[in-house]
Each structure stands twice: as C-alpha cells, then as structure tokens.
Amino acid sequence: MSTALDDTARCPCGTGLTYGECCGPIQRGQREAPTAEALMRSRYTAFALDDVEWLLASWHPSTRPRSLELDPGIRWLRLDIEHAAGGPFDDEGMVAFAAHWVADGERGVMRELSRFRRDGGWRYVDGTAR
Ligand SMILES: [Zn+2]
C-alpha cells in the first residue's frame, strides 16, 4: 500500500522542489520523465513512499519482475545523484547514485549504477552495485 504524500510537501528525492513540482506527476503518469535522472528520482521516491505500482510501471518490460515486495523495515533517508546521463535526445541513460537508508536503527548506503532506456519514455533497465 503506497503512502500518500501531499503535493505541497517537499519531494523525498531531495531536489528541494515540492512533490507536486517534482516526482508526483511523473509517478501518477501525468508527465513523462524528461531525463533518466528524473525517472531515477521518481523511482527513489516510489521506494520512499512504497509505490510498487510505479516501480513496476517505470521498469523496462524486458527486465521487469512480475511482482515486487518492498521491505517495510527500511526507511529511505536521502538520495545523492553522483553522475547522470540521458536526456530528451538520447536513447540510453545511466545514473550513479547513493541512497541512504535506516533499518532497525542502523544506517546504510546503497550505491548503484543504473541503466535506463528511452522506449516510450525513460524506463529503468537494470542496475549494478558499486
Ligand atoms: Zn522528486
């Protein structure tokens, strides 16, 4: 069950914009992500809000899992985008990021290099830990 977030709240992905100006419309399918980074941000926000529906919808059909279970014990604290490529005129994109989490009082960082493909809009293909 996803957590509702008011459009005037600060977006969890950390742009400093409100949710309604940032990831909200992308997750609701009202706006295509213009860049691979914007899609990545919306996916991070989906993790933060338990929005499994958007995580699956934003996944490229060639690698999309049938279903997805999110760990309810993990709380996502912050996203740092370290490198991003993939704009409106590209077909492939890449985003290197660090996502900070806390679970049972312990903090950790997930570092990944994610690959994206623009195929009817930007979609997540796969990622490797780094
Ligand atoms: Zn956002």
Q: Residue ranges per domain, the chain?
A: 23-129
What pLDDT does residue 4 have? 82
Measured in Å, residue 114 CA sits from the centre of ligand 1 at 17
Sheet holding 92-103, edge to edge: 75-85, 92-103, 106-118, 122-129
The vertex-77 CA angle with 76 and 83, nearest 5°, equals 90
CATH architecture of 23-129: Roll (3.10)
Contact criterion met (CB below 8 Å) for 71 and 110: no
Per-residue pLDDT, averaged over 89-98, amounts to 97
Per-residue confidence at 120, pLDDT binned at 50, 70, 90? confident
Per-residue confidence at 3, pLDDT binned at 50, 70, 90? confident
Q: For residue 115, what are the β-bridge partners?
A: 94, 126
Measured in Å, residue 122 CA sits from the centre of ligand 1 at 15
Residue 82 in tokens:
């370290």
Measured in Å, residue 61 CA sits from the centre of ligand 1 at 23
| pLDDT beyond 90 at 1 | no
Q: How far apart are CA 107 and CA 41, in angstroms?
A: 20
Measured in Å, residue 50 CA sits from the centre of ligand 1 at 14
